[in-house]
Amino acid sequence: MQTFKAALVVAIALVALVVSSRPGTATDDNRLALTISIDGAIGPASASYVKDALAKAAERHAEVVILRMNTPGGLSTSMREIITDVLASPVPVIGYVAPSGAHAASAGTYILYATHLAAMAPGTNIGAATPVQIGGPMPGLPGSTPDKDGKDKDGSKPSEAKDAMTAKVTNDAVAFIRSLAELRGRNADWAEKAVRDAATLSANAALQANVIEFTARDPADLLRQIDGRTVELANGKTQTLATKDDVIEAIDPTWLSRALAVITDPNIAFVLLMVGIYGLIFEFMSPGAVAPGVVGTICLLVGLYALNMLPINYAGFGLMLVGIALLAIEAFNPTVVIGLGGIVAFVLGAAMLFRIEAPGYTLSWPLIGIVAAMFTGLILVVLGALRRARNGPVQTGAQAMRGLSAEVLDWSETSGHVFTNGERWQARGTETFRAGETVEVANIIDLTLVVRRAPAATGEGGTA
């Protein structure tokens, strides 16, 4: 009994020791500095990753979160999601442009301005935050018709409507980044210049211009420099950072974020969509194959899910669908004209598919060309098969039966039965034949063969 009690005490002590020393849990003697890394274009996957990482940092009571960035920019919707999460984070977020040679352009500039403290590694740059123009040239306001002088009915030119839209988007972006600069006490005038004039700064110039608070060689150097700084959190409370002895730990993206990063690449989403459509076309052409239908359905649904998360132009998407429908019609009813119209509609739709030319979120022209070539190849294969079918011998019907040899099975006066092409037929003719004799099919009338004496038989009889 004593042995059992001693073993129980030891087990409880071991469990307590393991729980108290779990890796990744912040304590007074072991504070955590968690790092999040954004490399490449900012999109739905980046926003999901940052949101999950900040939630995990709050659960683990991390001292700070270092948001390391190397990005050319990305989607404004994803950028605003990240900024919202950073501003609401109960854990201080330290923006850090790194490593050397990295940059935080466009959307990255806004995010860096939103962080509680901002830093850059030597050899990095920031800026070029001008909003990318949405769509192409605007033909004027809705309902307007330009006259011969290029003016609308109200006297304004179409370019004026385009300029007004550009100014509206730019002013909104300026107000947004200035509000972030004022919130964090950074240079709001340069932030506006970065939006209006696409201005950029190196790391040292950004430090001198009060765009960032620190330059640091690495995360450890950054933690030493921010030690003792006071930051204001979302709940209005202030926190004095004690980070010089923090343990640095990276937060990796979840499998869901990784999968989202793959499928939300416009080119991958486009390929998934095409694989899905091709799979369904092949399934309809060969019912019962199963595999093309299953794979096609899965790829189509995943592709549509990815497109739903991207800023697509529904007019372009509609043109793509029209093009694919025309190509499908061409495959079942070849006319050439419908096929050419389908290719044109598909290429135009693919070119118009994405509304915003954001970095990393454009469709590859070579990919569009390859897919269009594949559809063209499908049409050529169908047309080739049709040509061969029309020029080849007839395989079915009455015309295919004419000229075939048949063996007489039984005969009475002018009618009887013959065997040809693996089948037993009722037959009639103008002559009398013997069983086993070979005759030739002259015609077929109402499922009855009209037969005549075969030329070879005539020659043998000597009656030619």
Q: Please, what is the average pLDDT of the chain?
A: 80
Give the confidence band of 74 by pLDDT, cuts at 50, 70, 90.
confident
Go through 135-170 and write b for each residue having 16 or more CB atoms within 10 A of its CB, e for each that does not.
eeebebeeebeeeeeebbeeeeebebbbeeeeeebb
Q: Based on the fold, state whether residues 363 and 302 are members of the same structural domain.
A: no
Question: 353, 320 in Cβ contact below 8 A?
Answer: yes
Residue 181 inside a domain? The answer is yes
Bridge-based pairing state of the strands 230-232 and 200-202: unpaired
Residue 3 inside a domain? The answer is no
State the pLDDT at residue 127. 92
Q: Tell me: pLDDT of 275 over 50.
A: yes
How large a percentage of the chain has pLDDT more than 70? Answer: 78
Residue 450 inside a domain? The answer is yes
Is the bond into 146 cis (omega within 30 degrees of 0)? Answer: no
Torsion of the alpha carbons at 395, 400, 401 and 403, rounded to the nearest 10: -120
Span 299-320, average pLDDT = 84
Residue 11 inside a domain? The answer is no
Nearest to 95 by CA among 32, 58, 50, 144: 50
Interval 235-265: pLDDT, tens: 788 999 999 889 999 998 888 888 888 888 8
CATH number of residue 427's parent domain: 2.40.50.140
Interval 146-160: pLDDT, tens: 444 545 444 555 556
Handedness of CA 145, 149, 153, 157 (dihedral sign): positive
Q: Based on the fold, state whether residues 305 and 316 are members of the same structural domain.
A: no
Bridge-based pairing state of the strands 64-70 and 93-97: parallel
Q: Which of 14-18, 177-181, 202-206 has the lowest mean pLDDT?
A: 14-18
Q: Based on the fold, state whether residues 241 and 102 are members of the same structural domain.
A: yes
Span 333-360, average pLDDT = 76
Residue 90 inside a domain? The answer is yes
Span 384-410, average pLDDT = 69
State the pLDDT at residue 388. 67
Q: Tell me: pLDDT of 133 over 80.
A: no
Structural domain of 50: 23-136+167-254
Q: Tell me: pLDDT of 396 over 90.
A: no
Question: 353, 346 in Cβ contact below 8 A?
Answer: no
Q: Which helix (H) or strand (E) holds 65?
A: strand 64-70
Question: 32, 245 in Cβ contact below 8 A?
Answer: no
In angstroms, the Cα distances linking 232 to 56, 63, 185 are 20, 14, 11
Residue 95 inside a domain? The answer is yes
Place of tokens 């990240």: 82
442 phi and psi, to 5 degrees? -95, -30
Question: 220, 226 in Cβ contact below 8 A?
Answer: no
State the pLDDT at residue 457. 47
Q: Based on the fold, state whether residues 316 and 361 are members of the same structural domain.
A: yes
Distance, in Å, from the CA atom of 37 to the CA atom of 250, rounded to the nearest integer, reads 8
Q: Based on the fold, state whether residues 434 and 453 are members of the same structural domain.
A: yes
Q: Tell me: pLDDT of 224 over 90.
A: yes
Place of tokens 């793509």: 320
Residue 169, both tokens: 């988007």
Q: Based on the fold, state whether residues 86 and 191 are members of the same structural domain.
A: yes
State the pLDDT at residue 132. 66
Q: Based on the fold, state whether residues 243 and 274 are members of the same structural domain.
A: no
Residue 159 inside a domain? The answer is no
Q: Tell me: pLDDT of 71 over 80.
A: yes
Could you tell me which residues are beta bridge partners of residue 452?
440
Interval 168-198: pLDDT, tens: 888 999 999 999 999 999 999 999 999 999 9
Residue finishing a domain among 342, 360, 392? 392
- How many other β-carbons are positioned within 10 Å of the β-carbon of residue 61? 13
Residue finishing a domain among 347, 370, 392? 392
Interval 228-243: pLDDT, tens: 999 999 878 899 999 9
Distance, in Å, from the CA atom of 296 to the CA atom of 304, rounded to the nearest integer, reads 12
Q: Based on the fold, state whether residues 403 and 388 are members of the same structural domain.
A: no
Q: Based on the fold, state whether residues 328 and 221 are members of the same structural domain.
A: no
Q: Which of 37-51, 111-125, 385-399, 432-446 has the lowest mean pLDDT?
A: 385-399
Residue finishing a domain among 309, 341, 375? 309
Bridge-based pairing state of the strands 230-232 and 238-240: antiparallel
Interval 92-119: pLDDT, tens: 999 999 999 999 999 999 999 999 999 9
State the pLDDT at residue 140. 35
Higher pLDDT among residues 184 and 18, named by residue: 184
Q: Which helix (H) or strand (E) holds 460?
A: helix 455-461
- In the chain, the number of structural domains is 4
Fill in the amino acid letter for 316.
Answer: G
Q: Based on the fold, state whether residues 67 and 179 are members of the same structural domain.
A: yes
Q: Based on the fold, state whether residues 278 and 415 are members of the same structural domain.
A: no
Q: Based on the fold, state whether residues 190 and 333 are members of the same structural domain.
A: no
Residue 180 inside a domain? The answer is yes
